[in-house]
Structure 1
Amino acid sequence: MGLFKFKEFHIAQDRCAQKVGTDGVLLGAWTTPHKIPQNILDIGTGTGVISLMLAQRFTASNIEAIEIDTDAFEQATENFENSPWGDRLFCFHSSFQEFYEEVEERFDLIVSNPPFFDSNSLKKESQIEEKRQQARFDDALPFEELVYGVYQLLALDGTFSCIIPKEREERFLEITSHFQLTPVRTVYIKGTANSPVKRCLMEFRFRESVKETNTTPTIEHLTIEIARHDYTDDYINLTKDFYLKM
């Protein structure tokens, strides 16, 4: 597969199990922390698309990305170097667990498009090749460890943004609550007006920070398409700074 071209950068993705997809683009375009972040952490960067979108949006931020898969790490590094913001983007070849155990820095913004199939669900070995399976199943990074690491690394007034399946929202909220994180923005994503909600975009802050700033949580809904390739105004407005044809 060739380059995926955005308005201000491009993504090579031939060596990545998980290609550029709607989930990552939604997260990169939607994430809006309550203060301009000086430093950003992208957990499981894959192609690097979310980091690159955030580099385009936040022009003074330094962005660190983590990727456990060797091929994806090398490709993300190349995508960073080939972008206009290579001096502000850094990729580490590491598991998140190794990273949060060694790093003492705290981040103003942490983002993740995490593995989204429960590791206890049926794994179709014959249909899903190994690397794509690693990127999609959460054996390597269960939600509990993801949120624990965020708890360790997020600045006291920082923001954690992610996108998860709607079916796992309740469990995710149990885990985030345990680690003192409160949802402040949630958007429920539907493919079309008549389809069920499949994804949740969610932003969290520490409970104390929310209390101190008297932040009122917001809940919104976003529909992507009216019909096939006929996009809603909301989706166009969210992604038009990135997609070439928006």
Structure 2
Amino acid sequence: MKVSTDACLLGAAANLASATRLLDIGTGTGLLALMAAQRHPTVEIVAIEIDKAAAAQAAANAAASTWASRLAVHACSLAEYTARLSLADADLRFSHIICNPPFFKESMPSADAARNTARHVSPESLSFEELTEFSVRFLAPGGRLTVLLPPPEMVRFAQAALAAGLARTSCLLVRHRPGGRVTRHISEYGRDNVALQERELLIHPGTGPEYTEAFRALLAGFYLAF
């Protein structure tokens, strides 16, 4: 499975300053979990992935990393993982949950089954309602949920989050070029109802392949070219 710009942006932009125990839902081959481990020196990370082959690769990547002792990978759906948890055990709650949910509905699926699972909505896909309801149940007090979605899907996600009891607290608006449309929202949700903070990130300064200084600074710890 290829590494996407979306995943790199989410992994680099999520605010992990107060994270102590993090859950990566739909980890794929483990990119977000590994980025979180690299960014935060003490956070304990649980990663779940429904695709068995991707989960096996994520486990291998975690085991080969410097942060293996802080990473646990489970090959299961969110529903299966939920069944293992006990609300009576506060140690099982998470200070942060990150997820890049499937969102493509009308586009043509690719020939790559794993990529379809990760990006395209299907009857077996993780729903916005399932994700937000899980987060309300298993986020620790003051915990945060961070997700990346295109703007229309983020509107629907915000509605599902609000219905579950979560409010959007911050949003990073991502544009590819000056004057271009916003293509992605990276939004943070929590139980506390505070004023929404918005900021923007521009990937390219013009029509060429060059990157903006802001993009380079954000991904400098992860892109070898930077």
**Could you say whether these structures have the same fold, taking a TM-score greater than 0.5 normalized by the shorter chain as the test?**
yes
CA contact (8 A) 1:100 1:152 kept: no
How far residue 129 of structure 1 moved from its aligned partner, in angstroms, is 3.5
Post-superposition offset of 1:138: 2.6
Counterpart in the other structure of 1:173: 158
1:100 corresponding residue in structure 2? 82
* Aligned-partner SS, 2:188: strand
Structure 2 counterpart of 1:60: 42
Counterpart of 1:22 in structure 2: which amino acid? Answer: T
Deviation for aligned residue 1:41: 0.3
Q: 2:195 & 2:46 partners in 1: Cα distance?
A: 30
Letter in 2 for 1:241: G
Residue in structure 2 matched with residue 234 of structure 1 by the alignment = 214
What is the rounded CA distance, in whole Å, between the counterparts of 2:189 and 2:175 in structure 1? 21
Q: CA deviation at 1:101?
A: 2.7
1:152 partner SS: helix
Secondary structure of 1:138's match? Answer: coil
Deviations 1:65-118 (A, max 9, x none): 000101100100111011110110010000011112321311001000111213
- 1:155 is displaced (CA, Å) by 1.1
Judge conservation of contact 2:54–2:114 (CA < 8 Å) in 1: no
Indicate the larger mover: 191-200 or 57-66: 191-200
1:243 aligned onto 2:226: no
- Asked if 1:204 is matched to 2:177, the reply is no
Are 1:224 and 2:206 an aligned pair? no
> In structure 2, do the counterparts of structure 1 residues 228 and 100 end up closer, same or farther at CA, with 3 Å as the change threshold?
farther
**Cα offsets for 1:123-155 (capped at 9, x unmatched):** x36x44333222212332111112112122111
* Corresponding residue for residue 72 of structure 1: 54
Structure 1 runs of 4+ aligned residues shifted over 6 Å read none
Question: TM-score, with normalisation over the residues of structure 1?
Answer: 0.84
Structure 1 residue 170: Cα displacement: 1.5
Amino acid of the structure 2 residue aligned with 1:238:
L
Pick from 92, 95, 103: which aligns with 1:116?
103
Given that 1:36 and 1:58 are in contact with CA atoms closer than 8 Å, whether structure 2 keeps it comes out as no
Unaligned stretches of 5+ in structure 1? Answer: 1-15
Does residue 43 in structure 1 map to residue 22 in structure 2? no
User: CA contact under 8 A between 1:185 and 1:218: conserved in structure 2?
Assistant: yes
TM-score by length of 2: 0.91
Larger CA deviation: 131-140 vs 21-30: 131-140
> For the residues of structure 1 that align with 2:114 and 2:8, how far apart are their CA atoms?
21
Paired amino acid for 1:30: A
**Paired letter, 2:154:** E
CA RMSD of aligned residues (A): 1.6
Distance 1:103 1:42 in 2: 15
Distance 1:167 1:159 in 2: 22
- Runs of 5+ unmatched residues, structure 2: 87-91
